[in-house]
Structure 1
Amino acid sequence: MRKFTFAILLSGCVLAAHGQTVLTLDSCRALALRNNKQINVSRLGKEVAMNTRKAARTKYLPKVDVLAGYEFTSRDINLLSNKQKNLLNNMGTNLGTQVSGDLQKGISEKMTELVKQGAISMEQAQQIGAMMQQAGAPVGQYAAGLGNTIGQQIVDAFRTDTKNVFGGAVILRQPIFMGGAIKAANAIADIMEEMAGNDESLKTQGTIYDIDKAYWTVVSLKHKQKLAYSYRDLVKKLDDDVKKMIRQGVATKADGLKVDVKVNEAEMDITRVDDGVTLAKMLLCQLCGIPMTDKITLADEDSNGLEKSNVRYTDYQPDSTFSSRPEVRLLQNAVDLSEQGTKVIQAEYLPHVALTGGYMITNPNVYNGFQKRFSGVWNVGITVQMPVWNWFEGRYKVRASQAATSMARMELSDVQEKINLQVTQSRFKVKEARKRLTMANNNVKSAEENLRCAQVGFREGVIPSTDVMAAQTAWQKAHSDKIDAEVDLRVSEVNLEKALGILE
């Protein structure tokens, strides 16, 4: 229902902008609430806080990341040392030399033994040794080449070819226990969103308060403008009468000069009040967000009286904490925010447990002899992080945060006491304004009767012109005081609504 009413008010404001110049108090409020930049900033801040809260909720959910990369290195990864590769490359030569030496030594020892036994002669032994050496040379060379070839193949088999490395991974992380940090972060996001709403309410009330003051200031000046013209007409009428009496010889020039001074003063008052009305309307247009050069007329400019019967807050009693005031709610938000901040600090020094998992691929394939193709592996695990020693850093931070929370509570209590006093003062001011308005109405009646009697006596010639001017001045002051009392009642009622936190 409230949104529907607000839409109707905005529609009325649009019509006014297209030619209609009459603005009511409600239409001025609607224009100001729509065009005020600070309120619009608060609304955007509320949207920011809402999305921040939604983002904080995602901290409970698992996070999945995808990684991919390529790396070029100037050297391969070697599974064999240079010494090992050298031994394998010369494996046949080394083995053939050793076998050939052992074989020649064995044959020589055998020939020597046979010579000693007399089975063969020395010449025969030498001939047999020469024949064996000639027959074994090709076999040794072949065995050496074959061994070297096998060694080179082994070295090549251990070559990784890892200058060009491709890799990728899918990583999943699921928090299990973060020391309460995630819960506190979500609570902070909720408080920030609530603070944004309270800030909007605070600026809304401030805007409405400024609009009401500007509106009733214009109305007051318009009534005083009419009063100034009426007073000028009265003084001019007296001036005409005095001039006639001067011509008839029943009044002196001194009486005429006194009346002329009053006429000039009345004209000057009109000039001042005209300028005041223009400036006040420009201020009202600025607060409403419309061009200051627009010609506007307020609905209450031509009203006969400004008395207001506002029963909205007569029986309204705020709670002991004054939670209806956005300022109090903001300070309570600050206390709650500080408490959650303490929990976040405490969570930093508690164990953090998280579940991890994923899938990783590489090229070369490290799981199959560095084969030049992509291959991967699944993994799952649990990580635990626990601070062990930090020189009491956490204790000091927690104490500092708790002290800040105590400060916020004290500020909240102090503001609540001041608001209680403000509400009481505002109630007194409303009562005083009503009494003042009643007295002003009575004074207007007395001043009008006094002016009537003075005018009658002046026409009968029993009262001098100075008494008439005094009666006119009293009449003007009584009406001016009535206008001030009427506007003061309106403003004091708005002050009370603002103090109670129900201005909207």
Structure 2
Amino acid sequence: MILPLCCLLWHLAAPAWAQETLSLKECREMALKYNKEMAASVKQTESARYTARSYKGNFFPNFTAGGTGLYSNADGSYGIAGGNLPVFLPDGTGQFNPGQPAGFAYFPGISLDYKIGWVYMGGVQMEQPLYMGGKIRAAYKMSLLGKEMAQMNETLTATEVIQQTDQAYALVVKAKEMKTVADAYHAVLTELHKNVESAYKHGLKPQNDVLKVQVKLNESELGIRKAENALRLATMNLCHLIGKPLTTKIRVSGDFPEIEKDLEVQVLDITRRPEYSILDKQVAIARQQVKLNRSELLPQVGIKGSYDYVHGLELNNKNFLDKASFSVLLNISIPLFHFGERSNKVRAAKAKLEQTRLQQQNLNEQMLLELTQAANNLDEAKLESELADRSLQQAEENRRVSKSQYEVGLETLSDHLEAQALWQQAYETKVDARFQLYLNYVAYLKAAGTLR
């Protein structure tokens, strides 16, 4: 038999080492570790955590150091000529008489020479907000809510990755079992073909019976090839999700988590879903946004202190400035009128809050509908699986009876082939029903917020 090109490439590219057998738990762990969406979600949580720490720093003083230097070649002088200055004494009435000076006093004059040269200053400043209208507190609460949302989003991403991994794992198990069914059906037809061909050679069966079996045998070979390709593709898809090269040869243990027979299906509680918590955080953030915008309408009080040293400005060849000083500044800002700019921001934030609440109600109802649908699908899948098991038992019994009757000549070959085909279909239906039952079970757990 000549392998098709895709099969040949698969066998050539596959590693030479032995196949690795993985359980569902191991596949989940590898997917959570290597999945890029999960890694991005973890980084988003890390970013939100650092953002919250950044906003927390606004409660504490802000210390800065600064310095300024200036050089100028400007210089000059200022002087007042000296001389005798008249001195006036009051008369008997207590008044001064400018026309009769009592004497003279010598004034030596003033001569000031200045030169700017290098002037520099440096110091440390401290700024502390005292009251900002609630802006700092609202912003910090928003950052905390953002961090919690990021954590919930990380949980949501993890559940989605787990669901995708479970689907891929179950698909590999299904393809593997379908391959087993196809091989078993082909083995039965091969044995039947040998018996019919032997009977034809001895003149006990017509050639038409041989051709009928050969047609079914050819169809079973095609079924085997389809099952092999489906298994190969399902394995590659699983490798993609768990972070292995697509051509890695792996096997799965084939064990699904046991589905509780007395599982209590809950269709009214969606509070455990990460999406529910995320919507709550979004409403809380919108509420804090209203407070943040309202803070711009309230007074703001801050204090600033500085310790500075100034050096420079020569006066008569001596430094005029050469001293350190401490200063404190208290600033109060009261908004009066801004032509509706700030008040309209508050109104817009309130409208956004109402919009977020309506969206929350709408999405909560959709999640409740999704949970109800998932519960219904799980209930129907349970019944379908039970019926499939019952049908397979009946098909196996029908095949056994048909084989006995055919061997003693009480049943035609066509009826016997039909019984074999019905058994194959019933087996495939059972495999598909078991596969669908598990997928519906996982979908229900995700819809209920309990998929871990």
Partners of 1:239 and 1:259 within 8 A in 2: yes
Q: Give the counterpart of 2:408 among 460, 464, 484.
A: 460
Contact 1:365 1:374 in 2 (8 A): no
Match of 1:310 in 2: 260
Note closer, same or farther for the CA distance 1:312–1:359 as it changes in structure 2 (3 Å cut).
farther
1:255-334 to 2 correspondence within 5 Å? Answer: 255-300=209-254, 308-310=258-260, 314=264, 319=269, 322-334=270-282
Task: Give the secondary structure class of the aligned counterpart of 2:337.
Answer: coil
Change (3 A) 1:19 1:243: closer
User: Structure 2 vs 1, CA of residues 204 and 369 (structure 1 numbering), >3 Å: closer, same or farther?
Assistant: farther
Q: How many residues align?
A: 416
Please name the residue that 2:303 is paired with: 355
AA of the residue aligned to 2:259: S
Q: Does 1:155 align with 2:107?
A: no
Moved more, 337-346 or 214-223: 337-346
Contact 2:58 2:136 in 1 (8 A): yes
Matches within 5 A, 1:235-254: 235-254=189-208
| Counterpart for residue 3 of structure 2 | none
Contact 2:172 2:235 in 1 (8 A): yes
State the match for 2:357 in structure 1.
409
Q: 1:317-365: per-residue Cα shift (whole Å, max 9, x none)?
A: 764xx23111122222221111111211111222110112111211127
- Cα pair 1:365 1:375 within 8 Å, conserved: no
Once residues 307 and 66 of structure 1 are traced to their aligned partners in structure 2, the CA distance between those partners, rounded to angstroms, is 63
The alpha-carbon distance between structure 1 residues 358 and 50, as it changes in their structure 2 partners (threshold 3 A), is same
Deviations 1:418-445 (A, max 9, x none): 1111111111111111111111111111
Secondary structure in structure 2 of the residue aligned to 1:239: helix
Q: Which runs of 5+ in 2 are unaligned?
A: 1-16, 85-105
- 2:375 — aligned with what? 427
Match of 1:41 in 2: 40
For residues 253 and 418 of structure 2, the distance between their equivalents in structure 1, rounded to whole angstroms, comes to: 34
Report % sequence identity.
Answer: 29
Give distance in 2, aligned partners of 1:369 and 1:64: 36
Equivalent position SS for 1:363 = strand
Which 10-residue stretch deviates more, 473-482 or 398-407? 398-407
**SS of 1:308's equivalent?**
coil
Please give the secondary structure, in 2, of the residue aligned with 1:73.
strand
Other-structure match for 1:500: 448
Q: Give 3-state SS (helix, strand or coil) of 2:338's partner.
A: coil
Match of 2:185 in 1: 231
Is 2:117–2:314's contact at 8 Å kept on the other side of the alignment?
A: no
The residue type paired with residue 274 of structure 1 is: E
1:216 maps to a residue whose letter is: A
| AA aligned opposite 1:185 | A
Report the secondary structure of 2:111's partner residue: helix
What is the rounded CA distance, in whole Å, between the counterparts of 1:407 and 1:225 in structure 2? Answer: 53
**What does the per-residue CA deviation read over 1:73-94, in whole Å, with 9 as the maximum and x for residues that have no partner?**
3535x7x8xxxx4xx47x47xx
Quote the residue 2:6 is aligned against.
none
1:178 maps to which of 132, 152, 160:
132
Name the structure where strand makes up a greater proportion of residues.
2
Deviations 1:11-58 (A, max 9, x none): xxxxxxx97711111111011111112212211221221122122222
SS at match of 2:211: helix
Deviations 1:136-190 (A, max 9, x none): xxxxxxxxxx99xx66x6132xx2x223210112111111100000110110111
- Higher share of residues assigned helix: 1
Which residue in the other structure is 1:167 paired with? 121
Aligned residue for 1:52? 51
Partner SS, residue 38 of structure 2: helix
Question: What is the aligned partner in structure 1 of residue 96 from structure 2?
Answer: none
Q: Give every structure 1 segment of 4 or more consecutive aligned residues whose post-TM-superposition deviation is greater than 4 Å.
A: 315-318, 365-370
- Pick one of 322, 337, 357 that aligns with 1:389: 337
Map of 1:76-95 to 2, 5 A cutoff? 85=78, 88=79, 91=81
Cα drift, residue 72 of structure 1? 2.1
Residues 231 and 378 (structure 1), Cα distance of their counterparts in 2 relative to 1, 3 Å cut:
same
Are the counterparts in 2 of residues 324 and 502 from structure 1 also a CA contact under 8 Å? yes
Equivalent of residue 147 in structure 2, options 178, 193, 209: 193
| 2:24 match | 25
For 1:367 and 1:353, how far apart are their aligned partners in 2? 40
1:216 paired residue number: 170
Aligned to 2:87: none
How far residue 291 of structure 1 moved from its aligned partner, in angstroms, is: 2.0
Q: CA deviation at 1:464?
A: 1.3
Q: Secondary structure at the match of 1:389?
A: coil
State the Cα distance separating 1:396 from its structure 2 match.
Answer: 1.3
Measure, in 2, the Cα distance between the counterparts of 1:346 and 1:412. Answer: 24
Amino acid of the structure 2 residue aligned with 1:246? Y
Moved more, 448-457 or 217-226: 448-457
Q: Could you tell me how far apart the structure 2 residues matched to 1:479 and 1:270 are?
A: 15
Distance in 2 of aligned mates of 1:183 and 1:221: 57
Residue type of the alignment partner of 2:229: D
Equivalent AA in structure 1 for residue 58 of structure 2: K
Deviation for aligned residue 1:248: 2.7
Which has more radius of gyration? Answer: 1
8 Å contact kept, 1:56–1:189: yes
Q: Are 2:62 and 1:63 equivalent residues in the alignment?
A: yes
Q: CA deviation at 1:385?
A: 1.3
SS in 1 for 2:205: coil
What is the CA-CA distance between 1:250 and the residue it aligns to?
3.2
The Cα shift of 1:465 comes to 1.0
The CA distance in 2 between the partners of 1:395 and 1:497, in whole Å, is 46
User: Does structure 1 retain, via aligned residues, the 8 Å contact 2:314–2:320?
Assistant: no
